[in-house]
Amino acid sequence: MKHARNLVQLAVGLYMLVYLGIICRENMQLEGFWYYLFLGTFEAAVIHYAVAKIIGPLFFGRGWCGYACWTAMVLDLLPWKTPARPRKPWGFVRYLVFGLSLGFVGALFALGAPDLEKIMLRSFLAGNLLYYAAGIALAFWLGDNRAFCKYLCPITVFLKPASYFSLLRIKNDPNRCVSCGKCRRVCPMDVDMTDNARSRENGTECILCMSCIAACPKQSLSI
């Protein structure tokens, strides 16, 4: 399952990053979504965000993060599969990055910047390099491949609210669970799946990687 997930990440990531982003020159980052939205054009970025990141999470939660994100595609190759330290209260930073993205594109339109298509291509390339650099730096610093996802990724501002209501989620059978903690220790997102009372809150962080299901010695977890 692990290698299958990595292959899906690679296939979707290369399609979105290389084919759509570089060859077709369509900015698939958040800035591209704002750009095409402000233009009033129904381009691939707008369709992608609507389907995968705004409406889709109502059905499959943050599955995008676990199986299709081209930033995580690279970060998951790093050695810190499970967090080396407790989660930090830095989630607010993602909202700052989200605001900067919106402000950047809004400023381009307000100032009447020329050749916006070229600016969007450059911002797509520069933005991805910045994301990779920040993600790798955070992973080294905190010993956590998914630190970028927890603290910096602005896309989670879209994903988290809808994921709260996700139809697809991991559930725990309390009659089988022995509270050994193995599921929590292998979770790359620090989610405690044993507490069904928090299943909706857990859904906003769970990336459906199935690591907890594979690690459970009592098979108490299911999807």
- pLDDT computed for residue 197 by the predictor: 66
pLDDT truncated to tens, each residue of the chain (223 aa)? 667 888 988 998 889 888 988 898 889 999 999 999 999 888 888 999 999 999 999 999 999 999 999 999 999 999 999 998 889 999 999 999 999 999 999 999 999 999 999 999 999 999 999 999 999 999 999 999 999 999 999 999 999 999 999 999 999 999 999 999 999 999 999 998 888 767 788 889 999 999 999 999 999 999 8
- pLDDT computed for residue 170 by the predictor: 92
20 & 96 share domain: yes
190 & 124 share domain: no
147 & 130 share domain: yes
* Predicted TM-score (pTM) above 0.85: yes
Residue 87, classed as helix, strand or coil, is: coil
Q: With residue 11 as reference, give the H or E element that holds it.
A: helix 2-14
Neighbouring CB atoms inside 10 A of 43's CB total 18
Q: For the chain, how many structural domains are there in total? A: 2
Alpha carbon dihedral 213, 4, 157, 160, in 10-degree steps, equals: -30
- pLDDT computed for residue 1 by the predictor: 60
Domain boundary among 163, 186, 205: 163
Domain extent, residue 198, equals: 171-222
- pLDDT computed for residue 143 by the predictor: 95
Tell me 198's DSSP state: G
Residue with tokens 């998914």: 146
CATH code: domain of residue 203: 3.30.70.20
194 & 151 share domain: no
- pLDDT computed for residue 43 by the predictor: 85
86 & 149 share domain: yes
- pLDDT computed for residue 200 by the predictor: 82
159 & 218 share domain: no
Say if strands 221-222 and 171-172 run parallel, antiparallel, or are unpaired: antiparallel
125 & 186 share domain: no
